[in-house]
Structure 1
């Protein structure tokens, strides 16, 4: 386990999946990150690579060949290497291997960088193309935050506040987790989406055309808040296990398959293409305050 700390935050990161395990607000004494209760949902904040969401038949299609690929990719259960670490900065690295090539036929180095910057944690995804050709991938975050913040409060005391007023339209998922072509408007109060335990009864809310690039978890009961800022991410997932006391705010560059025939990776919706010798970077930020 690796720990980073400054006067505002103390965070923990494990080697498996380079996954955040703790985001502790020192001033308020709040653990903001869901603690992975295996009876409910056994993750904290998985990093999604080289796919986001599910694939038809759990197969990734590349040049007409099918490769076995689990939902959200293979990064989250895989052991990373700690490449750099200081008191406020850490770099975790996952490089291609014979094992990864059996599921994803590209040579890459996938890195997750963590940086404490005052009351913010910057999480940066970095992909280095080590192949002799362009590589294709999706990447995203899946952090789960405890709601409510304090004991004695209720889940429904909280709301999500979008950076700007939105007409929220979710793209609906089939029972298998694939887009079914249907959309549904989500009722808001201005730029606020009230949280309640039935909000995710039909799976995640997936937004593809947001104007906002920041979402905050707030309550009218007190001044504590948490914001996820995602300046470079075009898709956003909001999700929780129905009835569970957390909410995931998930910035994505990529998404699940749609119902029907599987598509080649080069044709997948929101796929990222990285040229030979090039490097991709995209940060998102978790900021706490009162």
Structure 2
């Protein structure tokens, strides 16, 4: 089942499965979100919760007990409830249940709130700790932006001029090896060789946004002020680019396995709520 919201400029569709954005079109009916062709990648814009990335051996510990979670957690595969619907906004909720407690022993509610403002789609995450003790979590976005022209026709322009140091993955875990993304006139020209070793992972950035350029013209801006980390990813010959605001990332090889000690993890006090937001602006 899908829910659609709209204003005079944009129309967005969200699947109840995973509360996943599956379409974002302008008034000319141009699509800006990847279609989800499984020959490349069968998703559009999944939510990453309660972890981002991969755990060492897909396993973690809490209070000495071991649990297992797949890459990027379980929320993206679960059915959300539509809890509020207006013409230009919709809110979805996932609450902890018997199934989630087997994988993640914490009571929570995760809400995704989609709101259209002129040419911008805001996506807000709201995590509430429903238990009487602290809970560790990460939250992240994974929107795939459709690129209808040749991949090399696109470039990324970060908000600020900075050294774009990213971490390399080894066996899906964060390694100690880093490289610097080369820029020309503060632009990063896209090519598939950049992603030969999977995603580019930035633990920290000075920029709070980046703009995708199509044939040197502004195409889409992604604003991620609330998110200190960022992933950028595509697959070989795939006509999309994922701009992924993250709070958290994959384990390192030396991670202890205790979820409360995981690098980049957030800790939420009992009965408290955490919110963060990113946005996609059509230019």
TM-score (norm 2): 0.97
Residues 41-65 of structure 1: CA deviation (Å, up to 9, x unaligned)? 0000000000000011111221221
3-state DSSP class of the match of 1:31? coil
Q: State the partner residue of 1:225.
A: 219
Corresponding residue number in structure 2 for 1:121: 121
Structure-1 separation of matches of 2:275 and 2:68: 26
* CA displacement 1:89-119 (0-9 Å, x = unmatched): 1111000001111000100001111001111
**Where do 1:121-140 residues align within 5 Å?**
121-140=121-140
Match of 2:271 in 1: 277
Which sections of structure 2, spanning at least 5 residues, go unmatched?
none
1:193 aligns with 2:194: no
Once residues 107 and 203 of structure 2 are traced to their aligned partners in structure 1, the CA distance between those partners, rounded to angstroms, is 29
* 1:51 aligned partner: 51
CA distance in 1, matches of 2:193, 2:112: 33
Alignment of 1:202-221 (within 5 A): 202-220=197-215
Counterparts of 2:65 and 2:243, CA distance in 1: 33
Match 1:171 to one of 148, 167, 173: 167
Counterpart-to-counterpart distance in 1, 2:228 and 2:83: 29
Residues 210-255 of structure 1 show CA distances to partners (whole Å, capped at 9, x for unaligned) of 110101111235x451011011100000000122111000000011
Asked whether the equivalents of residues 166 and 190 of structure 1 are also in contact (C-alpha less than 8 Å), the reply is: no
| The one of 154, 158, 161 aligned to 2:154 | 158
Structure 1 position 105 matched with structure 2 position 100: no
Alignment partner, residue 23 of structure 1: 24
Q: Is the 8 A contact 1:165 1:190 kept in 2?
A: no
Residue in 1 that maps onto 2:282: 288
In the alignment, structure 1 segments of 5+ residues that lack a partner are none
8 Å CA contact retained: 1:52, 1:72: yes
Q: Quick check: 1:79 aligned with 2:79?
A: yes
> Is 1:244 aligned with 2:244?
no
In structure 2, how many angstroms separate the alpha carbons of the residues matched to 1:238 and 1:183?
15
- Secondary structure, in 3 states, of the residue corresponding to 2:76? coil
Q: What value does the CA root-mean-square deviation take over the aligned residues?
A: 1.2
CA contact (8 A) 1:55 1:262 kept: no
17-26 vs 61-70, which moves further: 61-70
For 1:53 and 1:102, the matched residues in 2 are separated by 20
The alignment covers a number of residue pairs equal to 282
Q: Is the 8 A contact 2:173 2:251 kept in 1?
A: yes
CA contact (8 A) 1:95 1:108 kept: yes
| Aligned residue number for residue 264 of structure 1 | 258
Q: CA deviation at 1:83?
A: 0.7
**Would you say the 8 A contact 2:211–2:218 is kept in 1?**
no
Q: Which residue of 1 aligns with 2:94?
A: 94
SS for the counterpart of 2:168 is strand
| Structure 1 runs, 4 residues or longer, greater than 2 Å off | 260-263
Displacement of 1:260 in angstroms is 3.6
Contact kept, 8 Å, 1:138 with 1:253, in 2: the verdict is: yes
